[in-house]
Structures are given as structure tokens and as C-alpha cells.
Amino acid sequence: MSDRKRVFSGIQPTGNIHLGNYLGAVKNWVAAQDEKENYFCIVDLHSLTLPQDPQELRFQTRSLGAMLLAAGIDPRKSTLFIQSHVTAHAEACWLLNCVTPLGWLQRMTQFKDKSARQESVLTGLLDYPVLMAGDILLYDAHEVPVGDDQKQHVELARDIAQRFNSLFGEEFFVVPEPKIPAVGARVMGLDDPTVKMSKSYAHIRGHAVRLLDEPAEIMRSFKRAVTDSGREIIFSDDPEKAGVNNLLGIYKAITGKPEAAVLADFAHARGYGDLKKGVAEVVIDMLAPIRQRYDQLMQDPAELDSLLAVGAGQAAAVAMPKLARMKEAMGLVLPPSPAGG
């Protein structure tokens, strides 16, 4: 094991990855690949906790893999894999179920919210946080980058780890820490710059720029972006200027230029039309190679699958031995190993 900190990130294979996700999160993951030992797991088993269309789930899972690779997750530096490819996850969930009191799960706010919206609540939905605890604990991850909505689940994973440790051996599992990730850039909706750009509204025309949008569509979305009735191109936290501020923020995040240099680039703009066009152009240029690589991978399933298989192999090399140690600690008889060793 290397002495770099282990980080485990779980990502749901839902579609509609957009500019806000990219600038706010994915770009940071790509940049941080050298600092820490990263596991990026596409959590398809978690998706099954709500009813799914099988074709759609399969497509979204592979599409997310291709997207993350295209965006710069480098399989030589990080481990990117599909959760269901490493059978230890489902097995660890069972073992951890048997140390987790039901009451802990019934108290989870996400379970209460999601189950209130379902006519028939699946057992998997209740068990979702135990599967997630298994994801994390199998790798002895130190850090788990999550948004606010997932913090309670990471805290539950800590409770489960501590209970397992007290039952079966102190220091068996690393007790993970939730990390609210440093936000790269907070990108707001183009149609409403007072709300964060969101996957849930990504289907609404003009709200989000999806990573796979065609250049002409991206230009159109920016041209329709909501601004204000003035003409001042400035960074500002005045709610009135939220639209212009958002456009400048996107430009700043992509070019990496300081604010003064960003403003200098628009010093000769004749109104917001030029601003919108300038921002759209840097977005289009940034996304072009990502799209191209994504299309290549989606058209070459063998290449995509082999990259994901390498990731699954690396993940399994950590997770399977840990699973065996869990079984042993809990009193299960291990089968003789095939090599006899």
C-alpha cells in the first residue's frame, strides 16, 4: 500500500453531466490524481434501489465511464471501475447488514425522503447506506468526498466501521472521514443565474450546458443566457448582476486567468452579446476534445470495456482480500484458495 491518502468517490450513473458538474467537481478530480490514491466507482448497484429501465441503466453506466475517461480521469493514475464488476461490494453489504441495527437505517434522512415519494419501497433503498459503507470500508479509504446530502451516509459508514472494529478487532477498518470537496467553481443556471446549474433541470432548454452538447447548441444556450438591463461587465455579488457574474465566473474557471485579465479580455466588448459569445467560445473549445474522446470510446466498446476491466482488476485486488479477511473475522470458513497458497 502506498502512503498516499486513499480517497473513495462513488458516482451515480445518471445522465446529464453538465458544465457545473465538470467545473465544480470533475475538473478537480482530474487535477488531484497525483496527490492521492483515488478510487472512482460508478455505483450501478446503488442505482437499482430505485426502479430503472435496464437498457437505459446500461447505457448510462458505460456513458459515465466514457465521460470520466474523456474528461481526464487517467487509468494509469486512478482506479476507475464499475461497482458491480467487483463482487466484493455486494458481499460486503451482506456481511455489514449483519452488524447494522435496523434503527440506524430507518433514521436516515435520504431514506425518509425517498421512501415518502414511493408507493412501494424496495428493501434495497433502506439498505443503500450499508452498500455504500461497504464501498468505502473495503478500500480502507481515509477520505470520502461527498456533498452535504451524503454526509449522513458517511457518518453511518463510520458507525458501522466502529461497531465492526469493536466486535471483531480494533483497527480492522480505517474509519473514514467525509470531505466536503473544495468547489472549483459554482456554476449557476443560464436561464436563472440565482439557482445552481442542476442535473434535475438539465432537460430544460437553456438551463445547462451538457458536456455532450453540440457547439451550435452551446452557442445558442449562451446567447439566451439571462443577464440584466445594464451594460456593465463586472464581477459582482449584486443579485441584479448574477447573470453577468456567472458568465465571467465560467470564463475565469476555464481560462484560469485572474479577474483583472478576464475583464481585460472583455474591455472592448460591445455589450453582453460579445460577452456571451466569448464565453461560449471558450466553453466550446474546452469541450471539443472531451466530446471527441467520448465519441471515440462509445464507438469502440472494446477499448472502453478493457479500460474499465483494468480498473475493476485493480479494485478487486484491494477489495477481494479485504472481503476474505472480513469473512474470516466473522467466523466464516474460507474456501481453500485455488493456487493452494
Residue 31, CB-side half-sphere exposure with 13 Å CA sphere:
11
Q: Is 37 in the site for ligand TRP (CB under 6 A)?
A: no
Q: Is 135 in the site for ligand TRP (CB under 6 A)?
A: yes
Q: How far is the CB of 153 from ligand TRP (least distance, A)?
A: 6
Q: How far is the CB of 146 from ligand TRP (least distance, A)?
A: 5
Which among 15-23, 143-151, 222-230, 256-264 is the span making contact with ligand TRP, rule CB under 6 A?
143-151
Catalytic residue among 36, 114, 257, 327: 114
Residue 330, CB-side half-sphere exposure with 13 Å CA sphere:
17
**Contact with ligand TRP (CB under 6 A): which of 67, 80, 144, 253?**
144
Which among 26-34, 145-153, 241-249, 251-259 is the span making contact with ligand TRP, rule CB under 6 A?
145-153
Footprint on residues 104-133 left by ligand TRP (CB under 6 A): 132
Whether 199 is catalytic: yes
- The torsion of the CA quartet 30, 31, 36, 41, rounded to 10 degrees, works out to -20
d(CA 84, CA 90): 8
Whether 77 is catalytic: no
Q: Is 252 in the site for ligand TRP (CB under 6 A)?
A: no
d(CA 137, CA 91): 12
**End-to-end CA, the chain:** 21
**Contact with ligand TRP (CB under 6 A): which of 10, 20, 65, 278?**
10
- For residue 339, the SS3 value is coil
Compute the C-alpha angle 122/128/178, nearest 5°. Answer: 155
**Contact with ligand TRP (CB under 6 A): which of 33, 84, 150, 314?**
150
Which among 5-13, 22-30, 195-203, 247-255 is the span making contact with ligand TRP, rule CB under 6 A?
5-13
For ligand TRP, which residue has the nearest CB? Answer: 10
d(CA 23, CA 283): 11
Torsional sign, CA 78, 84, 85, 90: positive
Whether 327 is catalytic: no
**Using an 8 Å Cβ cutoff, are 188 and 246 in contact?**
yes
The packing angle between helices 301-330 and 272-299, to 10°, is: 80
Q: Is 146 in the site for ligand TRP (CB under 6 A)?
A: yes
| Residue 265, C-alpha cell as written in the block | 479580455
Q: Is 46 in the site for ligand TRP (CB under 6 A)?
A: yes
Catalytic residue among 5, 151, 179, 199: 199
Footprint on residues 153-192 left by ligand TRP (CB under 6 A): 153
Q: Is 138 in the site for ligand TRP (CB under 6 A)?
A: no
Which among 142-150, 216-224, 225-233, 257-265 is the span making contact with ligand TRP, rule CB under 6 A?
142-150
- For residue 240, the SS3 value is helix
Is the Cβ of residue 114 or residue 223 nearer to ligand TRP in the bound state?
114
Q: How far is the CB of 285 from ligand TRP (least distance, A)?
A: 30
| Residue 108, C-alpha cell as written in the block | 436516515
Q: Is 28 in the site for ligand TRP (CB under 6 A)?
A: no
d(CA 307, CA 316): 14
| Residue 289, C-alpha cell as written in the block | 476534445
Q: How far is the CB of 233 from ligand TRP (least distance, A)?
A: 36
Instruction: Name the strand (E) or helix (H) holding 202.
Output: none
Q: How far is the CB of 145 from ligand TRP (least distance, A)?
A: 7
| Chain-centre distance for alpha carbon 286 | 20
Contact positions vs ligand TRP (CB under 6 A): 8-10, 12, 43, 46, 132, 135-136, 144, 146, 150, 153
Active site amino acids:
114, 196, 199
